[in-house]
Structure 1
Amino acid sequence: MARWEINFNHRIDTEDKELITLSVEIESYRLSIMRIPIPPSKQRELDKINMIRQIKGTTGIEGNMLTEEEIRRVIESGQAKLESEKEAENAHRLQQFIRERVKSLGEEAKYITEDLIKQMHAINTEGLSSGNNIPGQYRRHDVSAGDYQAPHYGEIEGLMRAFIEVINSNEVIYGLGPLIRSIIAHFYLITIHPFGDGNGRTSRALEAYILYAGGYNVRGFYSLANYHYRHRDDYIDQLNKARFVYNGNLTPFIKYCLRAFLHELEGVQESILEYVRRVMYKDYVIEELQLGRINSRMMTVIDFLLDGGRLTSDEYRNKRHRLIEMLYEGLTAKTAQRDLNKMLERGLVIEREKRLYANVDILNKFIE
């Protein structure tokens, strides 16, 4: 079992070219995403998706097998029965706690305290059967995580005081900024492993807290947990390299996490742009209707496809679909065929394996 003598000499090379490039790209993505106007209903939907993915990520790393849909049902119903469901419910409660605390404290929310960390741990592990763990209290026994032997329990209070001093220092808060600070906090807390259980979840929650307080709430609650979950082996390998290969030099670990963060932001941006493309596509189709290039029947079919309706080209051409039967009542199959051919020719719909789809990507031709 490997033990590492914890030191807080992070030695982050702020002049590292890749680190600088990644930081600039992330900030650019963050600002561009925040400036895309979307209606409140879509904002709430994106927010919930990010929250569910964060819960899936942080609990999944620890072996929780709930799907995103199961997590959604748990947090919407508030009726957690299984241990795995209670774990997900706790993670959701912790998200709400973070939001409320940041909102109520304002600028002061950036300061981390031991009481805050204990509160987050208590929420995370409340009602769970996890051995000698006591929610919100430091462990009084030794623990290990995989091949890593955590510090002796007698060292915890001193290590936590040192950790709080470092993470609240002007050098870290103002010199490194919230993004890198959140990753440092995550690394040190999970390495100290101060609790009997739930250390990983609490460390990732602290990371999310610092990101949220620092304005990195990119269209909703966000953290790196979902990326770490999808790349669990790399995540654990990077933690161990930071300890045993680089002896606390966190520059490689920071760059790994920044690459992960950039990857996730690209996904967030794509989700928002997909929504924007759908809205713009609808406007484009309305314009086609107003110019007399398509008729109202075609418009109805496109709306149906855009909403995820299933329709094959054979069903359309032969009037064998309920919607097509209704739209072309009293009209011949030849008329239906002519309408479909016109939409295909104009690129408004596309056909894949005989199934028809609204061709939202037609808007790409207007990108210069």
Structure 2
Amino acid sequence: MKQAIYIHERSDWTQWCWSDKQLLPLVSRVRILQGHLLGKLVTLGFDLKVEAQLDAVTLEVVKTSEIEGETLNNEQVRSSVARHLGIETTDMPAATREIDAIVEMMLVATYGYQEPLALNDLLGWHNALFPTGYSGLYSIKAGAIRDDSKGAMQVVSGGYGREQVHFVAPSADRLPIELERFLVWFNTSADEQDNLDLVIKAGIAHLWFVTLHPFDDGNGRLTRAITERTLAQSDGSLQRFYSMSAQILKQRNTYYKILERTQKGGSDITQWLVWFLQTLEQALLAAQKTTDKIIRKASFWQNHRQQSLNPRQVKMLNILLTDFYGKLTTKKWALMTKCSADTALRDINDLIEKDILKKSIASGRSTHYEVVL
């Protein structure tokens, strides 16, 4: 069987090229969506902007880990992000030190978007991901470039005896020069790169760094942190309001396939960049919907600011206005607020009388309730 030739084995592998004809319409759509989202956020008050940022950063931290098969506690991540953003966390669970480190790494990655990216930054971020020096049960070199002492760095799937190698990274002895070349390119301004659009640069940076795979583990998460930093540059804002990782997770199989195909191709990376920009477009559209929900929720509470509501009602209305899935029933209300079915029904009927909830047309077991907007 013929052995694959990877792009990094070509002498001119970082002389990237692409089709402007295919990319420019996508770049234009992405830029328009960025403008609409950031313009809408400008009209929000400070508290609502912080809430939008809290949602986006929490989503990014949770999903970038989930892509790698690691599930973080969503509420603990949210609590850590809130604390780092200066939001009151009294009613939130305390985050673990590991989650705090990951959140801080992601925020530092974007908050320093105007500063040059240095190798020490990458080593620090990696150390934050693996503070114990372990990835699961395995000891790794945390905060240090891999040395390949245990063999070549490979991306492999399948169980023992039926492993499939998807990618073999550059050898460790190449990494000092390769990383220096990457960082020089990354820190070069767009003006000096023939006015390279920063959303295209984000896609190139993503492909370039994940191809280098310079660490024993955590390469995907660091790649996405670098991507977020470049997108912060493209937005001209240290505040993040959309999540690329959430969209990548939705298309994880396609993501790995397009990466593998590109890494076994030539220097023309048009198809990778098309995929990247389309995914960015979906991330921005999802953020628009989230922002609209935040605005609707703020408007709702402004309209009902004079109403006297108990804590259970406030909690459930906030959930209904943001992240509630399915249909609201008395049973769900009781379960989510940890009260009796009778108490749940009294809470609901009180909100119906106040014209805050309405009952569905269906009756019997199909009875459910909706917020009056």
TM-score w.r.t. length of structure 1: 0.72
In 2: Cα distance, 1:202 partner to 1:159 partner? 16
Match of 2:174 among 139, 145, 155: 155
Q: Which residue of 1 aligns with 2:34?
A: 30
- The residue type equivalent to 2:37 in the other structure is I
Note the C-alpha offset of 1:70. 4.7
In 2: Cα distance, 1:223 partner to 1:311 partner? 32
Is it true that 1:354 corresponds to 2:367 in the alignment?
A: yes
In 2: Cα distance, 1:225 partner to 1:283 partner? 33
Q: Deviation per CA, 1:37-57: give whole Å up to 9, x if none.
A: 222222222212111111112
In 2: Cα distance, 1:192 partner to 1:308 partner? 42
Gaps of 5+ in 1: 287-295, 313-319, 328-335, 361-368
Q: Which residue of 2 aligns with 1:4?
A: 6
Note the C-alpha offset of 1:222. 4.5
Q: Which residue of 2 aligns with 1:140?
A: 147
Distance 1:222 1:98, change over 3 A: farther
Q: Which residue of 2 aligns with 1:234?
A: 254
- The residue type equivalent to 2:154 in the other structure is S
CA contact (8 A) 2:146 2:172 kept: yes
- Comparing 122-131 and 182-191, the one that deviates more: 122-131
Match of 1:269 among 279, 288, 293: 288
Is it true that 1:58 corresponds to 2:64 in the alignment?
A: yes
Q: Which residue of 2 aligns with 1:96?
A: 107
The structure having more radius of gyration, on CA atoms, is: 1
CA contact (8 A) 2:102 2:129 kept: yes
Note the C-alpha offset of 1:116. 2.9
Aligned length: 315
- The residue type equivalent to 2:369 in the other structure is L
In 2: Cα distance, 1:185 partner to 1:206 partner? 7
- The residue type equivalent to 1:116 in the other structure is D
In 1: Cα distance, 2:146 partner to 2:345 partner? 64
CA contact (8 A) 1:212 1:222 kept: no
In 2: Cα distance, 1:285 partner to 1:151 partner? 60
- The residue type equivalent to 2:18 in the other structure is I
Q: Deviation per CA, 1:121-158: give whole Å up to 9, x if none.
A: 23333324034632332111131122211111111112
Distance 1:101 1:354, change over 3 A: same
Match of 2:223 among 192, 200, 203: 203
Q: Which residue of 2 aligns with 1:80?
A: 96
SS of residue matched to 1:16: helix
Q: Which residue of 1 aligns with 2:199?
A: 179
Q: Tell me the percent identity.
A: 17
TM-score w.r.t. length of structure 2: 0.71
Is it true that 1:322 corresponds to 2:338 in the alignment?
A: no
More helix by share: 1
Distance 1:211 1:174, change over 3 A: farther
Q: What's the Cα RMSD here?
A: 3.7
In 2: Cα distance, 1:252 partner to 1:326 partner? 56
Match of 2:53 among 47, 63, 74: 47
CA contact (8 A) 1:57 1:225 kept: yes
CA contact (8 A) 1:46 1:219 kept: no
Note the C-alpha offset of 1:280. 4.8
Distance 1:97 1:278, change over 3 A: closer
